[in-house]
Structure formats: C-alpha cells, structure tokens
Amino acid sequence: MMLFMFLLLALLFLFLSYQLYIRFQLESLDSDSPKMKRKINFYKYQENNRSLLFLMIAAIIFCLILLGMLYAQDTLRKNNKELEIRINELTEKRDSTAALKIESYKANALKLSDFPWEKVVKSRDAQALDNFELQLIRDWQPFFGESNIAIAVGQKSQTITLSVFPTTLAFKDYQTAEKNVEKFIEELQSVKELTMIDFNFTYRTKANKLSKQSIVYSKNSKEEDLTKVALEN
C-alpha cells in the first residue's frame, strides 16, 4: 500500500515537472507578426487553463494520497498497539506460570488409586485416552508443574504404561517434585494395571544450567510392587 502511494507521488511529480517544462517552452515563444502573436497568446491562454485544471487535479490526488498515508500510518499504529498488548498478555501469562510453585503432595490428596484405571485399560477410543491424559495433566499440575502425560495401554496384557514429562522446573521446584514422585508411587502401588511409570524431568541446576533426570518405576507382573529402576548415567 505504501509502495503504491510513493509510486503515485513519483508519477505526480514527473507529470508536474513535465507541465513546468511545457510552460517554460511556451514562455520562450514569441513572434514579430501580430497574427502569430495572437495565436501564441491564445495557445498560452489555453495551456494556462489546462495547467490550472491539472494543478487542481494534482492537488486533489495529493490530498488523497496524504489521507491514504495517514490512514495507513494510523492502522499500522493500531496494529502495533494490539500486538504490544498481546505480547504483554503472553508475557504476564508466562510469568504467572513461571511463578507457579510446586506443592508438596499430601497423602491421599488426589486419591490416585480411585482414578478410573480399569476404564483406561478397557478403552479402545483414542479420544477417550486423550481425555484421561488431560485429566491427569490437570490433577497432577500442582505437584509437577506444566507437564505432558502419555498413556500407553497393552491390550493383550491389560496393563498401563504412564509417561510424565514436566517442563523446565527451577531447582527448588524440581526437588519438591522429585519427593512427590515417591509419594505418588506409594499410592499407585495398589493400581494393579499400572506396570510402569516414568518421570522425565527437565530442570535448572543451582548453577542455572539445564539438566535432565529420568525416574522410572516398573514391575514384571500385576501382583508385584512397583520398584525403582536403576538407570545408567
């Protein structure tokens, strides 16, 4: 839009320059013959009228271009303002999320064994599994922060593998979340269908460097208890 306006202004400038050139050429015309002089004067009169008309049209076009540029500038300013407001909203939302502290889990606060694990195992609908994952994400957020949770169901064995991926945690929050893992496992021991659960943490160390830590619990059969798996560093 702005490029078109600048191009139009350039064309208008060239047109006016051409009219000035014609005017300059007319002024240089002269003749000793009275008849020819009258013709020249009449032609100059016509050109003056034509130039005045062109000047008025040019002025109107210039005003329209100026209004267009002012409108485009105002639209751009409003868009920038809206973008600034949106960025501020996202920044505030990010800051409020970052400010969310991880809570220390109290025994039976969520009653983890009462979650519909049997329905999870029997579910054959991908959308139903997504809903179960979303419910766990909402319930577990205060104790592990913003996380992704994935449920994998073994149809033949009728077992569940649960994977938890907390997003970047501050070091103190990670320490709290790590303790929450043990408390969660204690309650989940009674869930026979759950044969494996792994927590994959991303956190910042005391030196503010990103680090990763995986904590895995599993069991070979439904009758056993979940035990912590020793992982190689």
pLDDT for residue 23? 67
Report residue 44 as tokens.
Answer: 């100059």
pLDDT for residue 183? 96
**Mean pLDDT, 10 residues at a time, the chain of 233 residues:** 64 72 66 67 69 73 76 82 78 55 92 94 90 95 94 92 93 95 95 96 92 94 91 69
pLDDT for residue 84? 82
Q: Work out whether strand 159-166 and strand 194-204 pair parallel, antiparallel, or are unpaired.
A: parallel
Question: For residues 95 and 97, what is the distance between their CA atoms, to the nearest angstrom?
Answer: 5
pLDDT for residue 31? 60
**Domain map (residue ranges) of the chain:** 2-98, 112-228
SS3 126: helix
Question: For residues 224 and 211, what is the distance between their CA atoms, to the nearest angstrom?
Answer: 32
pLDDT for residue 5? 61
Q: Are 103 and 142 in contact (CB under 8 A)?
A: yes
How many helices (H) and strands (E) are present in the chain, helices listed first? 5, 5
CA nearest 133: which of 161, 169, 114? Answer: 161
For tokens 């927590």, name the residue: 199
pLDDT for residue 6? 65
pLDDT for residue 3? 62
pLDDT for residue 211? 93
Sheet holding 210-218, edge to edge: 147-154, 159-166, 194-204, 210-218, 227-228
- The CATH number fitting domain 112-228, selected from 1.25.40, 1.10.150, 3.40.50, 3.30.70: 3.30.70
183: left (phi over 0), alpha (psi -120 to 50) or beta: alpha
pTM of the model: 0.58
Report residue 3 as tokens.
Answer: 């490029």
Alpha-carbon distances of 186 from 106, 107, 113, 160, rounded to whole Å: 12, 9, 10, 17
